[in-house]
Amino acid sequence: MDLKSFHRALQQIAEARGISPEKIIETIEAAIATAYKKDYGKKGQKIKSQFNPISGDVKFWQIKLVVDQTMLYTEEEIETLKEKKILPAEEFNKETRAGEEEQKKVVFNEEKHIMLTDAKKDYPNINTGEEIEIPLISKQDYGRIAAQTAKQVILQKIREAEKETISAEYRAKEGEIVSGIVQRVEGGVAYIDIGKTLGVLNKEEQIPGEYYKPAQRIKLYILKVEDTQKGSVVLLSRTYPKLISRLFELEVPEISAGTVVIKAIAREPGFRTKIAVTSTESGVDPIGSCVGQKGTRIMAVINEIGGEKIDVVEWKQEPEKFIANSLSPAKITAVKIESANTATAFALNDQLSLAIGKEGRNVRLAANLTGWKIDIKPAEQAPVEVLEKIEEKKPALVENIIDNNADKEKKPAKIKKEKASKTSTTKKSNKIKEKKTKK
């Protein structure tokens, strides 16, 4: 055996498959044990091998389980199981599913089992349930069928080890974003090449109105790795709110450095997103950092998520200020905190529709962002105590509100006068018509 070539091949397989050399050696040992059993073993035997990659030597052992009479099925029990057409192993599995405390029972096989009394002769400290290793004579020559079987075992074990490695790698990446290439779309489900495996982007995790073409490169959020009958599946998302925060981390160095912190995110995928940011250092503008010079940073994020609008607002400790900021781009006159986590925001008439947003989206996102139930009302309906607070800061604004109220009160009077004048003119015209008819 050329050990240098073997070590070189071992390293190449380990690097190409992403598997540790120790795992590959375990696979080789399992394959050699299978080949040994095929050519030199007996039915029911459990063979273990140990391969020394330095010297190239292989040692073999037969494994036997130590049992006593309490662990064996009686002849009557075996006959009963045969009548029920239940194998002993299946009966055991059924029992252990019902209760793990039940002791395992087996049908004695001298190739698999050894009685405790016999095992004590060579191993005085052995107990039931333990295994003993009986050395076997090493063999070097194997037949074609045994070699083919060993080859199949190696390929299967390497594939299993590769899947386990990939699964563990992506489990560690849960909650991060990954760049992938669209491989294909079947039945609304997109399959994305994310490197070592294909990720699954289900329809409910896709941005509404977004279409995916083969060979298109997109960024996705790793939701979780799910175990299925066919193996581990990496579930991806384009709608998860944290995708936005991860994209901002890539584009804004202040966020990755911790100078700017994203406090909250509210998102309606495909339509609008609001994020609340704050600065941990004085002199750093959190909103300006996220927007970037001429909007370059925020535009990079918007382009990545298909043109979805993003509002960046400043987070505040005071609920009134935070709620007012969250309703951006509308200018809020005042905010009154009610009971039961409810707040009322007051805005001038020209800002009301902007505060509510199309289909109520702006106020709904603001409520999700702040965690408060928000009601929007005209500034004219603001209570006296709220107006007094505004007057201390902006007396001109209060005068404007009062003038608007006065105009509303005057309008009905003007309408009455206009109606009265119209009725008087109609009466005069009717009188003239009557005089003409008399003549």
> For the segment 43-53, what is each residue's pLDDT rounded down to a tens digit?
888 888 888 87
Mean pLDDT of 282-305: 92
* Confidence at residue 383, expressed as pLDDT on a 0 to 100 scale: 72
Indicate the pLDDT class of residue 430, thresholds 50, 70 and 90: low
d(C-alpha 303, C-alpha 321), whole Å: 30
d(C-alpha 60, C-alpha 320), whole Å: 76
- Taking 50 as the threshold, does the pLDDT of residue 95 lie above it? no
Considering 72-81, 220-229, 413-422, the range whose residues carry the highest mean pLDDT is 220-229
Same domain, 44 and 134: yes
DSSP, res 106: B
Considering 151-165, 204-218, 372-386, the range whose residues carry the highest mean pLDDT is 204-218
Tokens, residue 98: 């019902």
d(C-alpha 305, C-alpha 218), whole Å: 9
Domains in the chain, number:
3
- Contact call for residues 250 and 244 (beta carbons, < 8 A): no
Scanning the structure block, which residue is given the tokens 């991060």?
176
> Which residue segment(s) compose the domain that 28 sits in?
3-72+108-165
In a domain, 310, yes or no: yes
- Taking 50 as the threshold, does the pLDDT of residue 439 lie above it? no
Indicate the pLDDT class of residue 35, thresholds 50, 70 and 90: confident
Question: Cα(first)–Cα(last) distance of the chain, in Å?
Answer: 138
- Contact call for residues 205 and 236 (beta carbons, < 8 A): yes
Local structure of 219: helix, strand or coil: strand
In a domain, 261, yes or no: yes
d(C-alpha 208, C-alpha 24), whole Å: 45
Mean pLDDT of 394-415: 54
In a domain, 329, yes or no: no
Q: How far is CA 397 from CA 236, 326, 381, in A?
A: 50, 21, 14
Same domain, 7 and 61: yes
Of the listed ranges 63-67, 205-209, 424-428, the one predicted with least confidence: 424-428
Same domain, 305 and 194: no
Residue 255 neighbours by CB distance under 10 Å: 21
Of the listed ranges 97-106, 128-137, 227-236, 375-384, the one predicted with least confidence: 97-106
CATH number of the domain where residue 123 is located: 3.30.1480.10
d(C-alpha 104, C-alpha 295), whole Å: 69
Same domain, 16 and 154: yes
Query: Smallest Cα–Cα separation from 196: which of 4, 14, 17, 316?
Result: 17
- Taking 50 as the threshold, does the pLDDT of residue 100 lie above it? no
Per-residue pLDDT tens over the stretch 113-135: 888 888 888 888 888 888 888 88
Of the listed ranges 29-33, 270-274, 326-330, the one predicted with least confidence: 29-33
Same domain, 157 and 284: no
* Confidence at residue 218, expressed as pLDDT on a 0 to 100 scale: 93
Per-residue pLDDT tens over the stretch 189-244: 999 999 888 899 999 999 998 889 999 999 999 999 888 777 788 999 999 999 99
